[in-house]
């Protein structure tokens, strides 16, 4: 497994919505090793406070040199990142964890919610590259149009059709992604790759269970190290005990987890 600790240059900062940002970082090592669903740990400051790195899914890579992360400002760490400038350097560890395991020749459905949409863009892009004949079905949800439309645009740019749902109905269907899923007919072979808030993933897991579709989910938890040392990032598993989101995941077969996850 290739992992790197890199000083990466911020080559681009985009403000996609009021509190949503996308950073483009330069690191040929990380960009060329990354697989869809893997993540990076980013240091938000050189000082001792905030102390810990923050985990972010890799949103996409380009030219084997650049990778992007997408985030919403939710606290001090993300606020510091939002205030970075192009040309500054960030310490990044990665790529970390296990990504999505996908049969690219099969029918696929990507279901994303909020910032959880990030790794699905990377996955969708990879799917199109590996198998042009099979376009994945894309279902994306967020709170409102402001949040969702810049993310939908990325998928549309790839030529993918997006089914949208928003909590307030300002874009796409007024409701949840599962309301959208219920109105799409999927082939029995369809495989679901899901990332978003835990209640959403849980709902999609139950939808898939009922329809007997394969379903993978990417779990987000608090974590200190991202590499299997701190044992902070646990998720309960069906067979009892816990798995570690960083080293066993973050992508899991939804059936192996013990739902509902808090």
Q: Which of 224, 253, 256, 258 binds another protein (CB under 8 A)?
A: 224
Task: Give me the residue label for tokens 């072979």.
Answer: 189
Question: Rounded to whole angstroms, how far apart are CA atoms 82 and 79?
Answer: 5
CB of 119 to another protein, least distance (A): 21
- What does the per-residue mask of binding to another protein show for 234-253, with x meaning CB under 8 A? xxx---xxx----x------
Task: Give me the residue label for tokens 């299997």.
Answer: 228
Are residues 163 and 117 in contact, defined by beta-carbon separation less than 8 angstroms? no
Edge-to-edge strand ranges of the sheet holding 4-17: 54-57, 39-42, 89-96, 4-17, 20-26, 66-72, 60-62
Q: What are phi and psi of 40, to 5 degrees?
A: -125, 155
Identity of the residue, 48 or 85, whose beta carbon is nearer to another protein in the bound complex = 48
Tell whether residue 58 is a contact of another protein (CB under 8 A).
Answer: no
- Span near another protein by CB under 8 A; candidates 3-11, 135-143, 171-179, 205-213: 3-11
Query: Binders of another protein: how many residues, by CB under 8 A?
Result: 33
Tell whether residue 52 is a contact of another protein (CB under 8 A).
Answer: yes
Q: Which of 225, 251, 254, 257 binds another protein (CB under 8 A)?
A: 225
Q: Which of 43, 125, 163, 202 binds another protein (CB under 8 A)?
A: 43
What's the chain's Rg over C-alpha atoms? 17
Question: Rounded to whole angstroms, how far apart are CA atoms 208 and 211?
Answer: 5
Which residues form the interface with another protein (CB under 8 A)? 1-5, 43, 48-53, 91, 93, 221-225, 227-232, 234-236, 240-242, 247, 262
């Amino acid at each position: 497994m290739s992992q790197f600790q890199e000083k990466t240059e911020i080559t681009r900062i985009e403000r996609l919505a009021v509190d949503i940002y996308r950073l483009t970082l330069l690191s040929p090592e990380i960009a060329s090793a990354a697989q869809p669903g893997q993540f990076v740990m980013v240091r938000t400051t050189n000082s001792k406070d905030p102390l810990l790195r923050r985990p972010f899914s890799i949103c996409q890579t380009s030219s084997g040199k650049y990778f992007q992360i997408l985030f919403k400002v939710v606290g001090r760490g993300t606020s510091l990142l939002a205030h970075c400038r192009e040309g500054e350097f960030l310490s990044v560890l990665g790529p970390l964890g296990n990504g999505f395991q996908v049969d690219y020749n099969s029918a696929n459905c990507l279901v994303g919610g909020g910032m959880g949409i990030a790794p699905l863009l990377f996955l969708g892009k990879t799917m199109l590259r590996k198998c042009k004949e099979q376009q994945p079905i894309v279902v994306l949800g967020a709170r409102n149009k402001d949040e969702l439309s810049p993310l939908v645009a990325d998928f549309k740019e790839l030529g993918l059709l997006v089914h949208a749902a928003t909590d307030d109905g300002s874009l796409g269907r007024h409701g949840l992604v599962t309301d959208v899923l219920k109105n799409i007919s999927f082939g029995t072979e369809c495989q679901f790759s899901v990332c978003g808030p835990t209640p959403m993933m849980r709902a999609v897991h139950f939808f898939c269970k009922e329809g007997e579709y394969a379903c993978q989910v990417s779990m987000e938890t608090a974590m200190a190290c991202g590499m299997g040392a701190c044992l902070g990032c646990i998720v309960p598993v069906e067979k009892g005990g816990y798995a570690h989101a960083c080293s066993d995941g973050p992508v899991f077969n939804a059936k192996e987890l013990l739902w509902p996850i808090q």
